[in-house]
Amino acid sequence: MSASYTTDMPFRRTVLAAAFVLAVTTVAAAQAPVSYRLSFPEPQHRWMQVEATFSDVPAGPLRLRMSRTSPGRYALHEFAKNVFDVRVTNSHGVALRVSRPDLHQWDVAGHDGTVVATYRVFGDRVDGTYLSVDDTHAHMNMPATLMWARGFEARSARVRFEQPAGRTWRVATQLYPTEDPLTFTAPNFHYLMDSPAEFSAHTLRTFTVADAGGGAPQFRVALHHDGSDADADAFARDAEKIVRESMAVFGEFPQFENNTYTFLSDYLPWASGDGMEHRNSTILSGPGALRNPGQRGGLLGTVAHEFFHAWNMERIRARDIEPFNFEEADVSGELWLGEGFTSYYDALLMRRAGLTPLEGTLGSFAGTINAVQLSPGRRLRTAEDMSRLAPFVDAAAAIDRTNWENTFISYYTYGAAIGLGLDLSLRERSNGRTTLDTYMRALWAKYGRPGQKVPGMVATTYTMDDLRNVLAEVSGDKQFAQTFFSRYIQGHDIVDYGPLFARAGLVLRTRNEGRAYFAGAQQLTFQGGGGGRVGSAVAFDSPLYRAGVNRDDLIVSIDGVNVTSQQALDQLLAKHKPGVQATIRFVRRSGETINSSITFEEDPRLEIVLVEQTGGTLTPQQQEFRDAWLGSRQK
């Protein structure tokens, strides 16, 4: 195994890549590829020009579309809204008649077998979903950028980037390279849509990592940021640690098309925080800077999350979201595994790679358990139900208030709690021989590795029953698998973590024993000394809820003492014991003043501490359990 770092090298083209390009050319001979020319006449004004040419168009109307969704995103994003100045001609440049059956479609009639659509598209959001064009780059998510034609899904595509005047930008993308450094291809529509591109004067670092299966893919880190070369070097080194620990979970890398995987990283003050997985690349974006130690950990955590998706989501994939639907919201009941287990692993991989201190990892596990255990939503909906709500919550824009604080738990968090519970349960049952890594490897062998018949598509997908059956095989206990699924994934129970943590010499305990608790993560804002305004939904059945307080109400006093600041509130809580009743005076947003009573509860939030920090002794067995779980898995 060797790693080599190179600075600002042009992308290497492997022999394998050349073979792929040949294969695509052969297939495309039967049906002309769709050709895109992307130009940037005024990048500073944040729009770009697209010319899309469709040849060998069958008789009848051609139905052109802009996507409503983007792979890895489950809500509707309506990309047609930023498209304007659409012109459609035939092969001789003669304008064709276009009708609009809906907001996302352009129907073109009377063509001569060739249709050329040109349009401008505005984009000013740097993240994993949208398009961003400015004087520093064109950061392209293809569903936000490219118009496509119904019925052309099997055709290959050719994408040509035109250099903006006065620039020497380069392209970072998982699209297939050609002899021309600004021209790329995609074998079909799904691969094209899955292939974001960063066109800029970015910094590039590369390294290769060999796996046990004889693979040695190249990893490219394309960085568009305002940091130094030293920041880029350190980032690439840490990304490599994450890549190695991820590979150790599965024992091998996926077969990346073109044998390369690209991290497209935009860390810019005007970027939005995001991470988006693709088959052979990921978009990482955010306003943070690598040089900032307080932001670095979060940026690396996203690297771990998205890279783990190269197996879990991109290739181990649920049947309900394959093939991905670009016209309607994509719904699946298994995001607790695709996203949630990936979230559990991003924390675990950061620990195994030595990039998060142990206390940080335990803190994040405790936060995950608290979020699931204390949320009223767990009584209302299962992890499967929560997964199916993704189109309502996954960066979905709504202007009406929701009650998600009470009725929803993120499938990232819920699934991470399930992953943690399953990992510890498997380890406990088998004395460490079977783990969640074993389960993920089994899923990989059955659903991920068999791979694809068509690049960009997953041939062997799973259902909920499949996931349960593989757990039965891995654990050797059908009853265990059935119970685990019916209680914790399709039911409302939460794993009993305490005894499981004890096996690792960890103590799960309440973090404020005997302290009165107000109302969950209730946020009060204090202005002008008149009281505390309730800024978010009040948790069902919490002390505040039972006192009749709701969002927007102003809490004036408790037990006759004015609540004028957070400090005053904390002092009041410190004086009251759980179970004690007190008077509470508040003003509803309607103006009505209410005198009620409130009964404090004990702070239910948990923490995880090392047994050796509680005066106990760490046994050799506990140390071994802890190391096998949280230590590096590289051999």
Which residues make up the interface to Zn ion (CB under 5 A)?
339
CB closer to Zn ion, 208 vs 265: 265
CB closer to Zn ion, 185 vs 413: 413
State the minimum distance, in angstroms, from the CB of residue 607 to Zn ion.
26
CB closer to Zn ion, 127 vs 339: 339
CB 279 within 8 A of CB 456: yes
The CA angle 364-422-367, to the nearest 5 degrees, is 15
d(CA 246, CA 265): 19
Residue reference for tokens 């960890």 = 506
State the minimum distance, in angstroms, from the CB of residue 293 to Zn ion.
24
CB closer to Zn ion, 71 vs 187: 71
DSSP 194: T
Helix (H, G, I), strand (E, B) or coil at 43: helix
CB closer to Zn ion, 334 vs 339: 339
d(CA 552, CA 537): 9
State the minimum distance, in angstroms, from the CB of residue 79 to Zn ion.
21
CB closer to Zn ion, 86 vs 417: 417
The CB density around residue 575, as the number of other CB atoms within 10 Å, is: 12
CB 457 within 8 A of CB 534: no
State the minimum distance, in angstroms, from the CB of residue 102 to Zn ion.
30
State the minimum distance, in angstroms, from the CB of residue 419 to Zn ion.
13
Residue reference for tokens 């492997």 = 14
CB closer to Zn ion, 96 vs 335: 335
State the minimum distance, in angstroms, from the CB of residue 275 to Zn ion.
7
**237: closest CA among 206, 215, 259?**
206
State the minimum distance, in angstroms, from the CB of residue 209 to Zn ion.
22
Alpha-carbon distances of 513 from 493, 510, 608, rounded to whole Å: 24, 6, 14
CB closer to Zn ion, 416 vs 508: 416
State the minimum distance, in angstroms, from the CB of residue 396 to Zn ion.
16
Q: Give the DSSP H or E segment for 610.
A: strand 606-610
State the minimum distance, in angstroms, from the CB of residue 443 to Zn ion.
16
CB closer to Zn ion, 247 vs 310: 310
State the minimum distance, in angstroms, from the CB of residue 174 to Zn ion.
17
For the record, the structure tokens of 261 come out as 């995987």
**522: closest CA among 492, 494, 555, 562?**
555
With 0-12 CB in 10 A as exposed, 13-18 as middle and 19+ as buried, what is 577? exposed
Strand-by-strand arrangement of the 105-109 sheet: 97-99, 105-109, 62-65, 148-149
CB closer to Zn ion, 189 vs 408: 408
d(CA 539, CA 521): 9
DSSP 324: P
With 0-12 CB in 10 A as exposed, 13-18 as middle and 19+ as buried, what is 618? middle
The residue whose Cβ lies closest to Zn ion is 339
CB 424 within 8 A of CB 348: no
DSSP 124: B
